[in-house]
């Protein structure tokens, strides 16, 4: 059987000029490959999950499906986001199940030559190393490429 889910770094290496969506989280620029994103929605209040960790904001209704919403900022170890209507929820797919990621705002779609992607320089932050799979320079700012699998893999037991 053909493997359907390839690891992300493989995908990045083999692709020619992939399109990425860049957005800001806690003032920093991040991006995800456009094919990883199902849709982008404006933030609306979510339903709280009791006993959930601080980076799990709750659940929302996406056309009849219950999907969990994560605070990317909290997940990256940055300050938690006070979500408002100006913010967006980026809906991505994890093993066929949709998951929402709260970001400050979406910036633009950028085209990246895979060869421009640099490895993440080692920094003293486990969160960063775990969730970022590479960086690129775009319009003189650093954009961090998110390792989606790492970000949306949640421990089974929320408690």
**Smallest distance from the beta carbon of 57 to another protein, in angstroms?**
11
Q: Which two tokens stand for residue 7?
A: 């690891």
Nearer to another protein, 96 or 121 (CB): 96
Of the two residues 64 and 121, which places its CB atom closer to another protein in the complex? Answer: 64
- Would you call 114 exposed, middle or buried from its count of C-beta atoms within 10 A (0-12, 13-18, 19+)? middle
> Whole-number minimum distance, CB 46 to another protein, in Å?
8
Q: Please report how close the Cβ of residue 48 comes to another protein at its closest, in angstroms.
A: 6
Residues 6+ apart with CB under 8 A from 60: 44, 46, 47, 66, 67, 69, 89, 100
Q: SS3 string of 74-101?
A: HHCCCCCCCCCCCCEEEEEEECCEEEEE
Give 49 or 129: the residue with its C-beta nearer to another protein.
49
Whole-number minimum distance, CB 33 to another protein, in Å?
A: 19
Q: Which residues bind another protein (CB under 8 A)?
A: 1-6, 46-52, 56, 59-61, 64-68, 97, 154-159
Q: What angle do CA 98, 109, 113 make, to 5 degrees?
A: 105
Rounded least distance, CB 90 to another protein, Å:
17
Identity of the residue, 110 or 154, whose beta carbon is nearer to another protein in the bound complex: 154
**Token couple for 60:** 């929302």
Closer CB to another protein, 121 or 155, in the complex: 155
């Amino acid at each position: 059987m053909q493997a359907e889910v390839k690891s992300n770094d493989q995908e990045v290496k083999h692709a020619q000029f992939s399109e990425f969506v860049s957005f800001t989280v806690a003032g920093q620029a991040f991006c995800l490959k456009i094919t990883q994103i199902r849709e982008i929605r404006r933030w609306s209040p979510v339903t709280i999950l009791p006993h959930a960790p601080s980076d799990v904001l709750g659940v929302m209704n996406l056309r009849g499906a219950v999907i969990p919403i994560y605070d990317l900022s909290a997940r990256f170890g940055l300050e938690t986001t006070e979500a408002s209507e100006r913010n967006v929820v980026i809906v991505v797919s994890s093993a066929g199940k949709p998951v929402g990621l709260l970001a400050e705002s979406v910036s633009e779609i950028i085209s990246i030559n895979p060869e421009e992607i640099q490895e993440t320089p080692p920094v003293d932050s486990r969160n960063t190393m775990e969730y970022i799979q590479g960086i690129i320079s775009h319009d003189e700012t650093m954009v961090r490429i998110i390792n989606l699998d790492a970000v949306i893999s949640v421990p089974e037991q929320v408690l």
